[in-house]
Amino acid sequence: MEERHQILQWYDALCALQKENMKKPAGEIQDMPLNGLVTAYYGLAYNLYLLQHNAELQEYLIRRLKMTDSFYAAYYETFVSAWFILAGFELRIENEQDGGRTHPEFIATRDGQSYSVEAKTRQAKKNHFDVGNQLYAALRIESQLPRVIFIDMNVGADADFEAFGTQALDAIRGREAKLTIMGAAAPPAHVFVTNQPFHLALEQTRLPQVCLVTGFKISDFGEGAQFPSYTDAHKARVKYAALYDVQKAMVAYKIPVTFDGEIPEFAFGEAERRFNIGERIEVAEGRFVTLQSGIVAEAEKKAYLTVIDEAEQGAIWTAELTDAELAAYKAHPETFFGRVVSVGGNIGDPLDLYEFFLNGYKETPRETLLEFMKNAPDIDELKKLPDDELRYRYAEGLTWSATKQAEEN
């Protein structure tokens, strides 16, 4: 068995897992534990599915996946590709026929900005967290574009993750002044250090994933970046928004039950999808309304719907929910009404709070903001600021006040 290709080994183990867990009659929905094996096998399938619109890159990775020696490196590259795709990037590979220079794994483009992306993985289960060799190898790849480097630590789920973070950051930041490539100072790069332990813990569930983001010679990016104000931190977050979206895509990554993204309860006929934001609903013969928004009151088993009729008159309706519909909402509240909507959440850190204030006052007139700040000692200077800067200053003040109050309490 060990001489067979890794995918065949996973498939054999998956068949055994299915035989052990799937006891319901054929045709009924089955479930089984989401362990490392299931995530590795179906995750690879999902990643290749996401690459279906990029046949050239998909075929390139499949060729490498078929070779035992390059399997795990290519396996990791499918995850990196998937995260970029889920973050809204378009991917392409450079002309590999150009043998006169080295090439990155792929070029990722979003909002008119392109990045050279390189992915490296360490040998499994090393007893340290130094990523210097992988960083050096990635920086040797020639590119005129901004660089993004992914390095997978390739350690088990029982690793010391506090030491993981400290040593990885030291390995990257500590080489900024001394690392050279071909006799010249090494170029800057946006670095993502990850750990995807699925293939190392096939029988375990609830496996921890890690994504540490930092800059190599990019002081305002990722872990370790320091800013004199929340406004400066916010501007850096906006500056690198596309790359932070890649990190968010990794954190949110999960294998879908249905590859078209439909909620399982609707896809498998347990409940009928009745509410789609933007859809016209016939409420009487020849009379239609359009669903604008909706919320669910779980305790009441009701949906409250905001609708607008053809005369542009609005109203709030209620609808009783079935048990299956309520279960669908609890499992997927963001997409219950047919598109992604915010369902609220906790403020995670002061910068999130700052951005909450900034967004909350983005439509507030300039005169109103100045009225709010009329007692500020620098009000004369505030009056000279452009509208955006005035909003930044107001959000900054609110954030400092709120965080100070929280510390005192």
20's tokens: 């052990």
> How confident is the model at residue 340, as a pLDDT?
46
> How confident is the model at residue 260, as a pLDDT?
52
3-state DSSP of 191-214: EEEEECHHHHCCCCECCCCEEEEE
Distance CA(252)–CA(340), nearest Å, equals 14
Distance CA(82)–CA(88), nearest Å, equals 10
- CA distance readout (Å), 102 to 108, 140, 186, 291, 399: 17, 8, 16, 53, 47
Length of the chain: 409
**Nearest residue to 230 (alpha-carbon basis) of 409, 391, 405:** 391
User: What is the per-residue burial (b if ≥16 Cβ within 10 Å, else e) of 175-193?
Assistant: beeebeeeeeebbbbbbbb
Range 286-290 contact pairs with CB under 8 angstroms and sequence separation of 24 or more = 289/315
Query: Using an 8 Å Cβ cutoff, are 68 and 5 in contact?
Result: yes
Distance CA(144)–CA(401), nearest Å, equals 44
> How confident is the model at residue 98, as a pLDDT?
62
> How confident is the model at residue 135, as a pLDDT?
98
312's tokens: 């542009």
Query: Using an 8 Å Cβ cutoff, are 216 and 169 in contact?
Result: no
- The residues near 217 (Cβ < 8 Å, ≥ 6 apart) are 176, 186, 187, 188, 189
Distance CA(167)–CA(149), nearest Å, equals 17
**Every domain of the chain and the residues it spans:** 33-252, 264-335, 350-408
- CA distance readout (Å), 339 to 54, 201, 279: 25, 35, 11
| pLDDT < 70: residue spans in the chain | 1, 96-100, 257-273, 331-335, 338-348, 406, 409
Distance CA(259)–CA(271), nearest Å, equals 18
- CA distance readout (Å), 187 to 141, 147, 192, 219, 222: 10, 8, 16, 13, 17
The partner residues of 216 in beta bridges, in order of sequence, read 189
383's tokens: 């009056």
Angle between helices 36-50 and 71-86 (to 10 degrees): 60
> How confident is the model at residue 215, as a pLDDT?
98
Pairing of strands 189-195, 210-216: antiparallel
Distance CA(83)–CA(77), nearest Å, equals 10
Quickly count: other Cβ atoms within 10 Å of residue 268's Cβ: 13
Q: If DSSP codes are grouped into helix, strand and coil, which group holds residue 66?
A: helix
Class of 264-335 per CATH? alpha beta
**Nearest residue to 151 (alpha-carbon basis) of 129, 178, 170, 184:** 129
The partner residues of 191 in beta bridges, in order of sequence, read 149, 214
> How confident is the model at residue 343, as a pLDDT?
46
